Structure 1
């Protein structure tokens, strides 16, 4: 694609192809429709949440014929799920602009590549080591100390594919817990809180960030997000600078979430990146001038980025598993906005929806 083509906006009335059919694709399609765009979802699973609100192609990621037909019906392609095979993204990139593209996806899919990229970009992380067998794990523990966290290099999320190694623990048991997969060992850092920053970048390099928010987890899954994060202004500025550095270093187009640890001394350590809208950005739907989903549309289509001003003090609470059965009381709660994802089956640990509470003026 020529540079002048990349800079040309994709106007309302166009079709956005979305790779992945979960709740992020569902919310993206809803906000895209408000701006006059249609969405087309590529997702192997029938009846996915996004299929309720947009056209849906149900085919395998390695079905080149289906991918070609999908590309023929869209104007730009984006991600709502980072475990899309890179091969599918690279194939689509030869047919239509994919924003973000395969290189960003490769980095986000592999914790070792991710941490190496962050460090090369001048972004500090927790101490870490790549390990491919138990002997390397033992050597890494000698260097990094205990406690430490062993995480599979690929396909781990919401606390899955992880094992904590404490003093006295047998490393072989942790290695068995990750099923002997290539992994990353992270040295323990006594952080004060976890924050994230959502950043957006257009094809012409314009960047806009949302302010840092605090993320509170329960059983390894995000439970609540609080905006603003309870941190000093200089720490917030460092967090935003970190997100800007990451998204600029990748020459990224689209929306990127950067999760970080805030240390007691005010340092900010990058933890993970996500090349898509993010659970910790759901507060923006009701609590911000421009939601993260609208911002995604603006970024990938080359439109002016939206204002990120917060509308008050915001709390976003995930509804995990059977917590979704609280929907009657949540609908009756003043100043609460309920978002249900339309998932047919309720399972423990599954994100079924979220509720947002906004205190204007706070």
Structure 2
């Protein structure tokens, strides 16, 4: 295990070569670190801005060995990395943050909700669904409509279906391909919020102001931050985030998606053990953004300030919307962040824009 804090010139390994890995690599470079990416795509967005890329599957044992030898610390950009890969690295003596526990908890929605409720971070009521009988019983207990999701994988609205009538249950379960599922009660919320928080190796924590999120078709469209909320809501959100971080003995940045039910009631929708799309506003709204914060946390540096100096509206650019880059780059109050992806497929996140709405 290397001595912490890691000095500039050290090497960070990042599993995953997408846009989050790209922005982590850029932040690490600003702090004087080299970055090695592990990703199966040879021309990955992150690999193109990093010192080196290992082109291999995330569970390739030889690639993991090479990554562990090359990097002083290994982290990851998304939660669908095989937990076994993180465990293999840790067992081989590599320093990995966040650790495999956080990854395993977040990869299974039943395990995640069970953990959240255990640490005092309330969620919607839910039921485990392995069979059609389980689903029928769950619908009777939770009421209609209810949301059926796969227990594992699925993101941006994928792997889930709303059930509005009991007779729709067989088709809904079949649409998930027979995979183990979770049924969630409907949350009647005022708005969707998120909080980005960080924890270091010594248990110190830093929490950013809340963001208010708007989704379209299950995909995040905009985040407005700091959110216009009452004084109690950020206090409650901070307590929830800190309970989760401590419960996981977490190191790094974590995203927590919340339902605001009003009357001082917040429910956790889900957690992401990584930097998060709803935290992109921090790149232009804070002195230390979420990407630098993650690097600081895992490298053992002091956590940076989280106070917002500007109000930001972050908008995701999907598919061919990225072709607006020329017009967007000419706007004085908007900052364009392009991901370097070669193909603009429909619905694919290609970039985001942070519009500065004024000082806080």
TM-score range, shorter chain: over 0.9
Residue 63 of structure 2 is aligned to residue 66 of structure 1: yes
What's the offset of the Cα at 1:266?
A: 2.1
Query: Which one of 73, 79, 83 corresponds to residue 86 of structure 1?
Result: 83
Query: Which one of 4, 7, 10 corresponds to residue 11 of structure 1?
Result: 7
2:192 partner SS = strand
What's the offset of the Cα at 1:182?
A: 0.5
Residue 22 of structure 2 is aligned to residue 26 of structure 1: yes
What's the offset of the Cα at 1:264?
A: 2.3
- Contact persistence 1:111–1:154 (CA under 8 A): yes
Moved over 3 A (4+): none
- Contact persistence 2:120–2:240 (CA under 8 A): no
**Equivalent residue for 2:183?**
185
Query: Which one of 304, 322, 325 corresponds to residue 320 of structure 2?
Result: 322
Worse overlay, 161-170 or 227-236: 161-170
What's the offset of the Cα at 1:360?
A: 3.1
Query: Which one of 39, 43, 46 corresponds to residue 42 of structure 2?
Result: 46
**Equivalent residue for 1:278?**
276
| Partner Cα separation in structure 1 for residue 62 and residue 270 of structure 2 | 34
- Residues 31-87 of structure 1 show CA distances to partners (whole Å, capped at 9, x for unaligned) of 111110111001112211101101110112232122111111110011101111111
Q: Which runs of 5+ in 1 are unaligned?
A: none
| Partner Cα separation in structure 1 for residue 319 and residue 282 of structure 2 | 23
**Equivalent residue for 1:117?**
115
Q: Considering only aligned residues, what root-mean-square deviation do their CA atoms show, in Å?
A: 1.2
Residue 209 of structure 2 is aligned to residue 207 of structure 1: no
- Contact persistence 2:74–2:97 (CA under 8 A): yes
Query: Which one of 103, 106, 111 corresponds to residue 105 of structure 1?
Result: 103
| Partner Cα separation in structure 1 for residue 315 and residue 58 of structure 2 | 32
| Partner Cα separation in structure 2 for residue 62 and residue 77 of structure 1 | 14
| Partner Cα separation in structure 2 for residue 61 and residue 288 of structure 1 | 33
What's the offset of the Cα at 1:169?
A: 5.0
**Equivalent residue for 1:242?**
240
| Partner Cα separation in structure 2 for residue 87 and residue 168 of structure 1 | 38
| Partner Cα separation in structure 1 for residue 98 and residue 59 of structure 2 | 19
| Partner Cα separation in structure 1 for residue 307 and residue 204 of structure 2 | 17
| Partner Cα separation in structure 2 for residue 42 and residue 115 of structure 1 | 30
What's the offset of the Cα at 1:240?
A: 1.3
**Equivalent residue for 1:258?**
256
Alignment map for 1:144-159 (pairs within 5 Å): 144-159=142-157
Q: Which runs of 5+ in 2 are unaligned?
A: none
Query: Which one of 158, 161, 169 corresponds to residue 160 of structure 1?
Result: 158
| Partner Cα separation in structure 1 for residue 80 and residue 173 of structure 2 | 23
What's the offset of the Cα at 1:288?
A: 0.7
**Equivalent residue for 1:293?**
291
| Partner Cα separation in structure 2 for residue 296 and residue 84 of structure 1 | 18
| Partner Cα separation in structure 1 for residue 166 and residue 251 of structure 2 | 46
What's the offset of the Cα at 1:177?
A: 1.4
- Contact persistence 1:224–1:315 (CA under 8 A): yes
- Contact persistence 2:15–2:58 (CA under 8 A): no
Query: Which one of 126, 129, 143 corresponds to residue 127 of structure 2?
Result: 129
TM-score (normalised: structure 1): 0.97
2:74 partner SS = strand
**May I ask how many residue pairs the two structures share in their alignment?**
358
